[in-house]
Chain A
Amino acid sequence: MTSTLGYGAVLGALFCAAFGALVGLGTGASRREWGLPWARRAAVGFFAFMVLANAIMVYALLTHDFSVHYVAQVGSRATPTVYTVVSLWSALEGSILFWGVILGTYLLAFALSQKKEHARYLPFALGTMLAVGVFFAFLIAGPANPFGRVSPAPPDGPGPNPLLQNHILMVIHPPMLYLGYVGMTIPFGIAVAALLRGELGEAWTTTLRRWTLIPWTFLSVGIILGSWWAYAVLGWGGYWAWDPVENASFLPWLTATAFIHSTMVHERRKVLKLWTISLVLGTFLLTILGTFMTRSGVFNSVHSFTQSDIGPTFLAFIGILLVFCITLLATRGQLLSPEGAIRSPLSRETAILVNNLLFVGITFTVLLGTLFPLITEAVRGVRVSVGEPYFNKMAVPGGVAVLFLMGVGPMLPWGSANPRVVREQLLIPAAAAALTIGLCVAFGLRGVMPLLTFGLAAFVTAITLRELLLPAKVRILEHKEGPWTALVRSASKSRRRFGGYVVHLGVVFIFVAIAASSSFVTHTSATLGLGKSIKIGDYSLKFVGLKEGAEPHRRWKAANVEMTTEGGGAQLLAPRMNFFERSTDPIGTPAVRSTPTGDLYVSLLAFGEDGGSATFNLWIFPMVGWIWWSMPILVLGALIAAWPSRRPSAVLSLSSRGAGPVSKVNRGAA
């Protein structure tokens, strides 16, 4: 019964999506108005059926209905309730079903939030988004059907993948990534509508930017949470391994970030229209490629789901999308011709253009490294692996260059800059960079890349803070406002610019944390007898015994370690190993003592049979926590930037002033 109901809901969603796609694209092409309300209704129907299908699956999981194929595959009576719900997205079929409900929610939000002013684009946009919905509903109804019946129903199941049951971050990391991935369908639909219409108006561009910023924020948070999870669960002391599936999430983030910047040039200078639209199409294609990477079984990765039959269907979809996008760009691209030109190499638009080329260059490099094992296997029949050194060597210099441009870009005016004024503006940030590098050297830090990163971080911070605070200072002086009032009002006058700079500050934190934690890491491993101690950095660690315990879904063994610091601090750490029934390997839970200056990371490697000794992997990672602590800053900045303004937009009001030499107060939107 549950299977039938669930499958019926999926078919309902498939029907709504197919109907809405046909009506939307058909009436859009024939320029008839009656299609829009029906496309909207189809979006609402798609959402409702997807919610129903997901609710039925969650019900089946919670009631341990093992006659449902997916529940028999991932359910278990011993699994705690929270992880039973999480198992909705812990395996392939459920994750696609969950994808469907997120797509439905995005479609509903988009369909209901758009006003009549966009009526000429909307049938195309909704039609395209619902066509994507057709593909996913077809996957759920066919090759990835989670509602198949199992007869006779087994009394119990194996439970979800143990790695996913080991940390609460697994509850939120995948939904955040999915919200990022799936959300890119909306800008894709908007961009396709612009190409099909052959025009990209200002209001539609604003819609495109805002609907990209939302999934970009989720994708950023998802990626950071994923790295945090790897750090907190896997016990190898790292947070990023350039795994194909990690790369798969990073690639669309890179192109979406490039888009967020290029759209400013498009709005301000009326150039890079086709480039900007291509970035949106590319971002969506990369999210689909990323989904293929995780689910096709083609890539070796810890993240991969089990081998499945959906690979060819997915590849066919990628093929159709590529043909569609190239045809669209080739036949309609010329309609989005530039109306202006980039006049000076010393201008903000040039800085953003270089930034875009860097982002796309890094995207290509990472994509090539990810695909290279497949390419060599296809061409030479030999499988090679491309490891961390390649990615670090290729991506790190690009990242440092992006950091430099994060400072230079906001400092330059639109149009053309007066070199003398630019030199003046550079003085304080350059001094901050030199001072930072000098202090680092004085404290004994060495290494070109980390010191360069710290120096550039100071450079960018100085410029960003000046850009953030200068308008407030003017308000304090001219309007006699209090500092807080002046800051809030200046921010609300140009939310996008203010929000963008806040995001930049968050990104600076991430750069510094990555440089510090990867360049100045301290590592050792040791086997300690009972009562024996070891020193690492300022910490002294004493092994005081093993303890063990059992929970319904796992057994565990922990090593108690007394940690003391030179400053007199003390704490009991308990790194452990978890033994899951289904697992073929113990799953560790490292103990982490996190402080703003760095983390002490203790991982239990092995223990003596009699409990008299234990082997540990020990690390000190300077400042690593700032990678995850930057998330609130990124989200706050993105929220400020995406928040709808009552005025048309800060950009429009500023653009009316023209592009003169650098003004002390206002150098345009970020």
Chain B
Amino acid sequence: MKWKITLALSAACAALVIVLAKGFGRDPHEVPFMLRGQPAPPFALKTLQSGEIVSLEKLRGKPVVLNFWSTWCGPCRAEHPVLDWAFREYGTQAHFLGAVFEDTEENALGYIGRAGSPYPQLVDPKSQMAVDYGVAGVPETYFIDAEGIIRDKFVGPISRGAFAAQMRSVMGPRASAELPK
């Protein structure tokens, strides 16, 4: 092989290895989230427990924590105690809402009857709200600030530490909670 070709091939291969090496540490399943920093899509949906209509518009002034979940999803059930804890800690500082994703009202009512839910659960019949928010799977928890801007979403079952960090980001140093040691 001619030396010029060898040199060009070697340079191309070295570049390939460097580019591949730079990619380490990424999450291959990360879905780009385009709504970060954007106004939260409005909704007005009835709650599972009382049938009362809840609209995002009326919740302005306080941050909103919006959790999408389903009864068929194991990770959602694993997350449930963390959300109960979070409501106890932050329930006075933020509005908490659940949204039932791709499930029946009957199943959801049965589950919260057994496990309890201290905050309203919304019914999203045609998954329109889930589509508007770009839900890729459950559980997903959205953190919306007092001005109605989506600060972030957490994909997968959230931990107490991660929840507290998200709340600090949404509320600033005002967010306070007693984290487990």
Contact = CB atoms under 8 A, between A and B. Distances in A.
B6 interface: yes
A329 interface: yes
B120 interface: no
Contact of A374 (B3, B23, B126, B136): B23
Contacts of A315: 17, 20-21
A322 B156 contact: no
Contact of A371 (B6, B16, B26, B125): B16
Interface in A571-596: 577, 579-586
B128 to A, nearest CB: 9
Interface string A83-106: 000000000000000000000000
A400 to B, nearest CB: 28
B36 to A, nearest CB: 14
A298 B104 CA distance: 38
B6 A329 contact: yes
Given A322-B17, A584-B137, A606 B126 contact: yes
B74 A581 contact: yes
Interface in B84-106: 102, 104-106
State the main secondary structure of chain B at its contact with A. loop
Given A329-B1, A555-B72, A585-B138, A609 B104 contact: yes
A312 interface: yes
A184 to B, nearest CB: 18
Interface stretch (A11-19, A132-140, A300-308, A622-630): A300-308
Given A298-B26, A315-B20, A378-B22, A606 B10 contact: no
A311 B27 CA distance: 13
A385 B20 CA distance: 16
A298 B17 contact: no
A397 interface: no
Contacts of B17: 315, 318-319, 322
B74 to A, nearest CB: 4
- Chain A interface: which size bin? 35 or more
Interface in A548-590: 555, 577, 579-586
Interface in B109-140: 123, 125-127, 136-139
B18 interface: yes
Given A374-B23, A584-B138, A609-B104, A330 B1 contact: yes
Interface in B1-52: 1, 3, 6, 9-10, 13, 16-30, 32
A385 B34 CA distance: 14
A contact face: mostly helix, strand, loop, or mixed = mixed
B126 A371 contact: no
B20 A374 contact: yes
Interface in A53-110: none
23 contacts: A292-B20, A297-B27, A304-B28, A311-B24, A318-B20, A322-B13, A322-B16, A322-B17, A374-B22, A375-B19, A378-B18, A555-B72, A577-B102, A579-B72, A581-B73, A584-B75, A584-B137, A585-B102, A585-B138, A586-B72, A609-B104, A609-B105, A609-B106
Interface of B: 1, 3, 6, 9-10, 13, 16-30, 32, 70, 72-75, 102, 104-106, 123, 125-127, 136-139, 156
Given A330-B6, A585-B137, 10 more contacts: A292-B20, A301-B28, A304-B28, A307-B28, A319-B17, A330-B3, A577-B102, A584-B138, A609-B106, A609-B125
Interface of A: 158, 274, 292, 296-301, 304, 307, 311-312, 315, 318-319, 322, 326, 329-330, 333-334, 371, 374-375, 377-378, 385, 527, 555, 577, 579-586, 606, 608-609, 615
